[in-house]
Each structure stands twice: as structure tokens, then as C-alpha cells.
Structure 1
Amino acid sequence: MGEGVPTLYEWAGGSEALSRLTQTFYNRVALDPIVGPVFRHMSPDHPAHVAAFIGEVFGGPNTYSERHGGNREMVMHHLGKHLTEEQRRRWINLLADAADEVGLPDDPEFRSAFMGYIEWGSRLAKMNSTLGETCDRETEPMPSWSWGVPGGPYKPPAGKS
């Protein structure tokens, strides 16, 4: 990206915003009859780990890779789960609702990039969930997601904020 263009991580509000997002999201997930059962044995630290993962993918610090094993470890968490399309779609909808609830930026450019990533990532998670119980690859590169629109993030018209 060009100099001075914030990362998606910065535009979202950094680690605090992503932590609020994942905590709100997983509170919803726990109560949901479609995706809740997938997460019934979720660690209390799970929302923080996912916030760190998304943060790293969106251009933030390498916290997930340094503390939790990087993308290969995330792939390993999905193996053998046999996620359904209904569960994948519910996951996306709950995450989009949580983004609204916690006040993530709602400009079209950010939301397009955000939704593009969760659509892409959830499809990979579903695909990985049908694989065996181990990942044969030694490393799995960390995804890197950025603005999907040339020119970067939304800029309100002059005089509006």
C-alpha cells in the first residue's frame, strides 16, 4: 500500500477493537444452535487468540505467529471438524452482526475487505475441516489481507466525518 495508508488493522481500531469484536462474536456463537456445538469446548482464551490472528492477517503485530504457532496451527484447529455450509454461513452472519454491534468501521471499502476476508477464510476453514486429523505441511504461510479497492480506505467527502 502507499505510504500513509493505514492497514486494515489500524483502520479497524487495532487490538482493542478486534478483541471487542471476537468477544462479542463468541458470546453470540456460544448461544447459537447451529455453530454453538462446534465451539462447546472452546478455551476461554479462544476469542483473544482469534483477535490476534485477524490482527496479524490485517497488518498488525505478529502476535499469533509468535505466541500460538501461526497459520499452520490455525489450520490444525479446523481439521476433522466437518463443518457444514450452514455452519459456515451462520459464522459469517454472526461475525458481521458482531462487527456492527461493536462499531467496527462501516465504510464500504473496509467492510468489503473485512467481509472478503471472512468469506475467504471461512471457505478455507470449511475445506480444511474435511481433511484428516493432521496437516502434512511443515509450514502454512500466514495470510495477509489488505484493501481490495485501489486507492485504499474510504475518505469521507470534505466537511463530513
Structure 2
Amino acid sequence: MAEVPSLYDWLGGREVLLTLTTEFYRRVALDEILSPVFAHMDADHPAHVADFIGEVLGGPVLYDPSGDGHVRMIGHHLNKHLGETQRRRWFDLLLTTADDVGLADDPEFRSAFVGYLEWGSRLAVINSQPGVALPPSSPMPKWSWGAPGGPFISDTSA
């Protein structure tokens, strides 16, 4: 029986994610709802997001090799006061961009990918509200194919 590839490998790896995030953030800069949120992002932002998503989807640890990548990502959202309008626009624009750049579109992959984007974007909104504190630690989420117990696997040590 063949080994099941990670979502990262299935979608084509870092270069495909970098193509997606580069085009996505180009569009974000032109979007009236999202451009104010990302007005101060640096030129490396698409690469950092590609590395974060890649790690979550089973790729190499490139976002933050220290092991605190998830805490670092949470920290980027603190006190941003994001709402559902921004979350939904981010989600819709990312999926449209995924289609336009030719990201894998088979139902099994897209189901897992959309599941992660829903979960992650809703978590970003929660962590962006006033009074949320940065946790001392938080394991990097690991997302995989849907299976009994759900697609989200947070403990990969087993």
C-alpha cells in the first residue's frame, strides 16, 4: 500500500504555496476591505505565510524553527480587531486566488484545505480581539486528510 502524501506534497510544495500567497497578497493590496489590515506588511510577508501554511499542511519547518511558530502567528493578530467581514473577504479572496493560480482542486484536497482556512481564519479573529493575551506556548497545528477523529491533528508525537 502506497504512503499517503501530506497535503503539502499533494498541492505541490513550497513553490506552489509561494505562487498562491504572492498573488493573493498582490490582490489584498488592491482590496478595499483587506488593504487597510495589511497596509504595513513587509515584502517578505507572502513567503512567511507560505512557510506557515506549508508547515501546517505537513511540509518542512521553515516558518519558525524555534518551535514557537504558532505563538508567533497568534502574536501577529493580537489587537488587530478583525471582524467577520474581513475574515470572510480574506477567505473568499484566498479561495478565488487558489482557483486562479491552479491550486489542486480535487474534492478531497480542497475539503481539507478549506477546513484549515475556516478554522485558522476564525481563530485569527478570536485572537485579534481586545484583551487576548499571547499564550506561553501553543503547538503548531498540523492539518491532514479527513479521517476518523477529524482532519486536525495537533499532537504529532504519537
Identical columns (%)? 61
Task: Work out whether 1:23 is the aligned partner of 2:22.
Answer: yes
Q: For the aligned residues, what is the CA RMSD? A: 1.7
Aligned AA (1:107): D
Aligned to 1:158: none
Q: 2: distance between equivalents of 1:134 and 1:104?
A: 35
Change (3 A) 1:30 1:128: same
Aligned AA (1:146): S
Aligned to 2:153: none
TM-score by length of 2: 0.88
Aligned AA (1:147): W
Structure 2: segments with no counterpart, 5+ residues: 149-158
TM-score by length of 1: 0.87
- The size of the alignment, in residue pairs, is 148
Q: 1: distance between equivalents of 2:82 and 2:141?
A: 21
Aligned to 2:137: 139
C-alpha distance after superposition, 1:133-160 (max 9, x if no partner): 741x22111000001157xxxxxxxxxx
Counterpart contact for 1:109–1:149, Cα < 8 Å: no
Q: 2: distance between equivalents of 1:108 and 1:38?
A: 31
Q: 1: distance between equivalents of 2:81 and 2:64?
A: 25
| Structure 2 counterpart SS, 1:39 | coil
1:132, distance to aligned residue in structure 2 (A)? 3.1
C-alpha distance after superposition, 1:116-138 (max 9, x if no partner): 10010000000000043741x22
Aligned to 2:146: 148
Aligned AA (1:35): L
Aligned AA (2:140): M
In the TM superposition, what are the counterparts of 1:32-111 in structure 2 within 5 Å?
Answer: 32-66=31-65, 69-111=68-110
1:35, distance to aligned residue in structure 2 (A)? 1.0
Aligned to 1:12: 11
Change (3 A) 1:68 1:38: farther
Aligned AA (1:46): H
